[in-house]
């Protein structure tokens, strides 16, 4: 079932749309939309809840907490990237390219002012993507203050674990920002997207997008005034769970083949991976890595076909 986006009175009638992609989100999804509901009281704001065929009834409860949301339901789980793309396609068709889209994970609760801070940073035309200061559920420990991409594609959250008052309180240009809470103009998605739906069902799609944006000459900026609490990887059982590691490394290797396996970087990539492997000896990692490495031939073929298609375009 799809409820239509509200009618616009002109290009500026809805300047910002928040997008939440959900799949069996449980009570965290209800908390997410309840925290976002006050943001919709300001004119020019909307929210799209894209339901990836949830079966736990959480979307209905979430809509009770945020009745102003537009609801789009997929007949099957198409993954996070496809959910974002379908929601943004509806936004793009109904609005102005300068409109803003803000993605919020289903297990993320925004603080008051978080949406406004992203909107303000995006007034700078040199900025392509804005990410937030993400806190652990204890609300005192930093989870993410921007991100770094290692030579072998591993992603590292700047500031993770810091509890120092005032730490990471200055905006900064970074390599990527987490999709837990990030914003961009619709024209940026049109120019450097869409999100790559092969990162199914989740992980690395926002990293991939940030890389494309930076290569296109736009900045990716960490905005500390935008704050949210995030139950990281809750849908996958946590960052040490076998399911999470399997998805993370599968999509990391896809990202590596797509972006990092260049002729001048191969030895650096291999050395970085070997150094990391020497330190990483858990059985869960071993299984995840074996499955991910087995996909390298497939990803190489995909990469070659993509380059051929680009030359023919």
pLDDT in tens, 152-179: 999 999 999 999 988 999 999 999 999 9
Q: What is the pLDDT of residue 229?
A: 98
Q: What is the pLDDT of residue 265?
A: 87
E strand or H helix at 101, and its extent?
strand 100-104
| Inter-residue contact 231 to 137 (CB < 8 Å) | yes
Q: What is the pLDDT of residue 281?
A: 61
Pairing of strands 219-230, 127-135: parallel
Q: What is the pLDDT of residue 55?
A: 96
Residue 4 pLDDT grade (very low, low, confident, very high; cuts 50, 70, 90): very low
| For range 88-98, the mean pLDDT | 82
Residue 55 CB neighbour total at 10 angstroms: 8
Closest C-alpha to 128, from 9, 219, 238:
219
Q: What is the pLDDT of residue 278?
A: 84
Cα 235 from Cα 290, distance rounded (Å):
23
Write down the mean pLDDT value for the chain: 91
Q: What is the pLDDT of residue 63?
A: 97
Is the model's pLDDT at 12 over the cut of 80? Answer: no
Question: DSSP letter at 182?
Answer: E
Q: What is the pLDDT of residue 241?
A: 86
Which domains are assigned to the chain?
16-233 (3.90.550.10), 242-300 (no CATH)
Q: What is the pLDDT of residue 239?
A: 79
Q: What is the pLDDT of residue 6?
A: 43
Residue 271 CB neighbour total at 10 angstroms: 12
Closest C-alpha to 33, from 15, 60, 5, 57:
60
pTM value is 0.91
| For range 120-132, the mean pLDDT | 97
Q: What is the pLDDT of residue 96?
A: 77
């Amino acid at each position: 079932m799809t409820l239509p986006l509200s009618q616009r009175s002109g290009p500026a009638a809805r300047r910002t749309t928040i997008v939440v992609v959900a799949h069996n989100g449980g009570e965290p999804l209800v908390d997410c939309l309840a925290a976002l509901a006050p943001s919709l009281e300001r004119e020019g704001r909307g929210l799209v809840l894209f339901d990836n065929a949830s079966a736990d009834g959480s979307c209905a409860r979430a809509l009770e907490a945020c009745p102003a949301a537009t609801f789009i339901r997929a007949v099957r789980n198409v993954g996070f990237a496809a959910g974002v793309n379908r929601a943004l396609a509806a936004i793009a068709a109904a609005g102005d390219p300068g409109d803003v889209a803000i993605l919020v994970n289903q297990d993320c609760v925004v603080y008051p002012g978080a949406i406004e801070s992203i909107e303000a940073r995006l007034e700078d035309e040199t900025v392509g993507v804005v990410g937030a200061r993400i806190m652990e559920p204890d609300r005192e420990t930093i989870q993410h203050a921007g991100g770094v991409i290692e030579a072998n594609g591993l992603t590292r959250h700047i500031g993770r674990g810091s509890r120092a008052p005032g730490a990471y309180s200055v905006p900064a240009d970074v390599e990527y920002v987490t999709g837990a809470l990030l914003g961009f103009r619709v024209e940026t998605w049109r120019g450097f997207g869409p999100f790559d739906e092969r990162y199914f069902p989740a992980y690395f799609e926002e990293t991939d997008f940030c890389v494309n944006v930076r290569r296109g000459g736009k900045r990716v900026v960490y905005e500390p005034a935008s704050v949210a609490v995030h139950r990281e990887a809750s849908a996958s059982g946590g960052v040490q769970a076998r399911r999470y590691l399997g998805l993370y490394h599968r999509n990391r290797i896809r990202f590596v083949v797509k972006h990092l396996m260049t002729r001048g970087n191969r030895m650096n990539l291999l050395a970085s991976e070997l150094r990391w492997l020497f330190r990483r000896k858990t059985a869960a990692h071993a299984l995840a890595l074996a499955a991910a490495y087995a996909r390298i031939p497939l990803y190489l073929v995909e990469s070659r076909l993509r380059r051929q298609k680009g030359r023919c375009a």
